[in-house]
Amino acid sequence: MNSVAGINMARFVLLLLLQVVICNHIDFLGYINPYIYIIFIFLFPVREDRLVLLFVSFLLGLTIDMFSDSGGVHAAAAVSLAYARPILLKSAFGMLYEHQSIKFSSTDIGSLMTYISLGTIIHHTILFSLEIFNISNILLILKKTLFSSIFTIILSVLIIILFSRNRK
Amino acid sequence: MQQIFNFVIRNKTFLLFLLLFSIALALTIQSHSYHRSKFINSANFLTGGVYGTMNSVDQYFDLKTTNAILSEENRQLREQLFNLKGTKDSSYIDSSYSKGHYKITIADLYKNSYSSTNNILTINKGKNDSIKQDFGVMTSNGIIGIIDNTSKNYATVLSILNVKSQINAKIKSTNHIGSLTWDGKSPVYVQLEDVSQFAPIKVGDTIETGGESSIFPKGIGIGTITSFETDISGDTYKIQVKLFNDMTNIGTVYILENLDRAEIQSLENKANE
């Protein structure tokens, strides 16, 4: 039990630093950045209390906001993603989720991709809508959401596969 | 009473989500509607420390460019100095600093940002170096923005690449003024709005600070005109300005403090009463 908490705390700090030190400054083609800190929310233990997840996601988002001077947009997007997570898990993994026996390190790639893509699109849509906060710029919102989502999904899947221990 | 408790316990996840989401939304709206985002900003001990470490590593990769910029600036200053000597006897007056006296502080840029629509930068000087809100920030090429929040050792800068930013500017060849804004699209171009229809405008003309506000002195370069069009109302021009500064690559900045600011402001307040 303790080691699970330890791993998650280390993941929190590492992803936070990775996000603010490297990923916020990539600016590929001028505006495309990956937001890989949401891997923390994706990989949070399924059996853990949902209230804890909501609260920790809020904290993570707020810290990112502090580093990037963006008000509360990351906090809002992260909390929404954390709240929507059970639905995503159910639609991506089906029966595995109902039996509470998902191991992210040993699920098949297809389900993992579905899970991460859906989550990333929800998160990025809320993030950019709130950041730009102007309905007349809807094209800009969609453009940023699309390109950043692609970037985030690719990086997230790669990182999860790379760091899972017992994948063949 | 029992039912209320039951309701809260049954929907505790949704209620917590609603609470946290409202807090986040309130912070977002507050940062959009007011000029200053008070609570969550990067001028604090934690973010400053992380960005400081990052900056000290980052600087080494940039030494060559920094050197080139410095020697170019040296050349410009030397040129100005020699030109000044030559014209001392005539009635030439350096108009750029005639309005007031400015104190200049050097700072390192700790966090640059240009990809969002509300870009805010972080620098490593703060209250301890007597930096206050509404000081101007520039590089040798032109203006960067205005100081927003300050903490003990750090300050945030409201970049000119921020849709909330509005800076007084004028066309160099004439004295027609306008306000400099940004449409949030490209970090290379800003827009000069509300320029009178009577102004003679040519593509390639220089835009500089107007000196109407007490933040920047008159005559700091901003950029050149690339295109212009008549506003929908038909009385004013909307001008596209290409910045002199490469906003994606800024190392060292200068902070300008107008020592006459208090005097100018008290005078203007008196006139308003």
Instruction: Work out the angle at residue B209's Cα, subtended by the Cα atoms of residues B112 and B151, and round it to the nearest 5 degrees.
Output: 40
Over range B239-255, report the average pLDDT. Answer: 87
Over range B195-204, report the average pLDDT. Answer: 84
Q: What percent of chain B has pLDDT over 90?
A: 4
pLDDT of residue B91: 46
How many CB atoms are located within 10 Å of the residue A28 CB? 12
Q: Three-class SS of residue B189?
A: strand
Over range B102-114, report the average pLDDT. Answer: 85
With CA atoms as reference, the chain A residue closest to B249 would be: A25
DSSP classification of residue A141: H
State the pLDDT confidence band at B89, using cuts at 50, 70 and 90.
Answer: very low
Q: What is the CA radius of gyration of chain B?
A: 23
pLDDT of residue B132: 87
Task: Report in angstroms the alpha-carbon separations of B14 from A40, A116, A147, B10.
Answer: 21, 22, 31, 9
* Structural contact between residues A18 and A156, judged by C-beta atoms closer than 8 angstroms: no
pLDDT at B97 over 60: no
pLDDT of residue A168: 46
Over range B65-75, report the average pLDDT. Answer: 81
pLDDT of residue B90: 44
pLDDT of residue A126: 92
Check if CATH label 2.60.98 holds for domain A2-163. no
pLDDT of residue B93: 46
* Structural contact between residues B188 and B243, judged by C-beta atoms closer than 8 angstroms: yes
Query: ipTM of this model?
Result: 0.83
Nearest to B141 by CA among B18, B32, B245: B245
Residues of A in contact with B41 (CB under 8 A): 66, 69
pLDDT of residue B79: 72
Over range B97-126, report the average pLDDT. Answer: 80
CA pair distance A58, B22, nearest whole angstrom: 11
Average pLDDT of chain B? 82
Residues of A in contact with B117 (CB under 8 A): 131-132
Over range B39-58, report the average pLDDT. Answer: 78
Q: Please list, in sequence order, all residues whose beta carbon lies within 8 angstroms of the beta carbon of residue B121, skipping any fewer than 6 positions away.
A: B109, B111, B112, B113, B144, B145, B156, B157, B159, B250
Two tokens at B107? 């700072």
Averages of pLDDT over each 10 residues, chain A, 168 residues: 82 90 82 89 85 91 88 91 90 75 75 90 92 83 92 91 69
pLDDT at B85 over 70: no
Q: Chain A interface residues facing chain B, Cβ-Cβ under 8 Å? A: 17, 20-21, 24-25, 27, 30-33, 50-51, 54-55, 58, 61-62, 65-73, 75-76, 79-80, 82-83, 130-133, 137, 140
Q: Please list, in sequence order, all residues whose beta carbon lies within 8 angstroms of the beta carbon of residue B30, skipping any fewer than 6 positions away.
A: A71, B37, B38, B39
How many CB atoms are located within 10 Å of the residue A78 CB? 31
pLDDT of residue A101: 67
CA pair distance A26, A148, nearest whole angstrom: 11
B54, with CB counted inside 10 A (0-12, 13-18, 19+), is: middle
* Structural contact between residues B157 and B135, judged by C-beta atoms closer than 8 angstroms: no
pLDDT at B41 over 80: no
Interchain proximity A72–B24, CB inside 8 Å? yes
Nearest to A61 by CA among A32, A89, A20, A114: A20
Greater confidence, B82 or B216? B216
Q: How far is A2 from chain B (nearest CA, A)?
A: 24
pLDDT at B37 over 60: no
pLDDT at B87 over 70: no
Query: How many angstroms from the chain centroid is the CA of residue A32?
Result: 16
